[in-house]
Chains A and B, each alone.
Chain A
Amino acid sequence: MRRGLSLLALLLVWEGLALLGLLNPLYVPAPHRVAQVLADLFSEGTLWPHLQATFSAAIFGLVLGLLIGGVLGLLAALVPWVAELLEPVMLLLNAVPRVILAPLLVIWFGIGLASKVALSLILVSVLLFFAVYSGVREVDPRLIERIRTLGGGRWVLLREVYLPSVCSWVLSQLKVAVGFAFTGAVVGEFVAASRGLGYLLSFAQSTFNAALSLALISLIVAFVLFLFTLFERLEQRLLAWKPQASR
């Protein structure tokens, strides 16, 4: 609520400054201009194929990244030689800004959907790898002892200790993963593409169209915020057992 109000205030000041002619409309177009551009994009129907491209890249990247990262993380946690093989690679990938791979991926996979999916997949899967890997390895050993002395076997351990522990790590990273998936898709399109929001952004840049740029940025922000709130709800429901401060 508060945040909504302060955003509104910012927009009003911005609009006011533009009305007074204090802002150069070429660089900083007034909010109503941006809204107009956005509305046009939707009503003309030109936006849909771009939205579709970005969304499919992000969703595919997210789902595949979660899957691949999760499986690799699990393997590394369970099989020592897999860990020795993967950990250095993952640490390296984690340390560098992974978007620098974008041009390479375009060379490998072409300017179509595949290179965007690949980029968001890499961004997401490195994140997930570490979430699952640490989720399994940093299980509280005392809990394992408890279950053992209560007579529980491997299956009970898996269900009652490992799974919840990994879930809590993964859930806390899920929001970030969604952000990463979109970053991957948009940056990939920005580098080389014929469709997508990233492509539109680079088009706006090359035609010096600040209004279009801002319109696209606010669109992407709105989508990611929407997904964030969705996942936050999910997290709050599933992680009710955590003390508030550490969530």
Chain B
Amino acid sequence: MLKVERLTLGYGVTPVLEGVALEVAPGEFVSLVGPSGSGKSSLLRAIVGLVTPQTGQIIRGLELEEIGFLFQDDALLPWRTARQNVALGLCIHGVPRKEALEEAEAWLVKLGLSGLSDRFPYQLSGGQRKRVALAQVLALKPRLLLMDEPFASLDAILRTQLTRDLLSWVEGEGVSVLLVTNDLEEALSLSDRIYLLSKGPRAVLRRSYAVPFARPRDPVGVRADPRFGRLLGELWKDLEEVVLCGAA
């Protein structure tokens, strides 16, 4: 589905990422964790072609249009309402305007935003804007979903609900996911595999972890599994090492 090989990229002389290789298989849920500034967002941007890598390859087993990209910030078109923002993507993909607006409404309701569809972005909270952006991406039914910290700035209840809904949708549709997150528990409870990036600049892939929990999976129930605690401890220790060693 997606294969990244020996990828080196950066904005100046010193590369941000160096020699990164990772893979997302069809239907696989992969998480990417790492210290702030290590180049996680840059990697996602390179995958959809917004940044040109210095060396290395990105092999996409699908069309660009089949990739859904949820950005880390929640910039929506300020002159369009929530509903129009969501419908825009659908219209670009050839859905007639009226149907697009109806479908957009349905997605907003699904993400807990009913009654807010006629608001402009400035009238929404950060978490609400984030969900509008998520609706915009999900409505296009991507086959590969790239998400950059989608659940930051949501309250615990909403976050649990949303991850549960998202996971069952992803499992049902067989969507592949590459998720960037700073929440180790979230990464563990959702993914099949986790990649850990080292501290930048010149960040490399430090380790990859196979997550053994079966699918379909309940992201809350899985936390009771004894292996969950063990893996979490391991991840935590490695991340700490990465962050501290960079600082030394």
Contacts and interface: CB of A to CB of B under 8 A. Distances in A.
B88 interface: yes
Given A146-B75, A149-B71, A241-B80, 13 more contacts: A146-B71, A147-B88, A148-B50, A149-B67, A149-B69, A150-B88, A150-B136, A151-B93, A152-B92, A156-B92, A160-B77, A241-B122, A242-B122
A150 B89 contact: yes
A161 interface: yes
Contacts of B73: 142
Contacts of A143: 75, 77
A140 B79 CA distance: 12
Interface size class of B (residues with CB under 8 A): 20 to 34
A86 to B, nearest CB: 28
User: Which 7 A-B pairs rank lowest in CB-CB distance, beginning with the nearest?
Assistant: A142-B75, A150-B89, A241-B120, A241-B79, A149-B69, A164-B79, A243-B122
Contacts of B93: 151
A147 B50 CA distance: 12
A142 B148 CA distance: 14
**How would you classify the secondary structure of chain B's contact residues: helix, strand, loop or mixed?**
loop
A149 B75 CA distance: 13
B165 interface: no
A77 to B, nearest CB: 19
Contacts of B88: 147, 150, 152, 160
Interface of A: 140, 142-143, 145-152, 156, 160-161, 164, 168, 240-243
Interface string B73-90: 101111110000000110
A140 to B, nearest CB: 7
Contact of B71 (A142, A151, A152, A243): A142
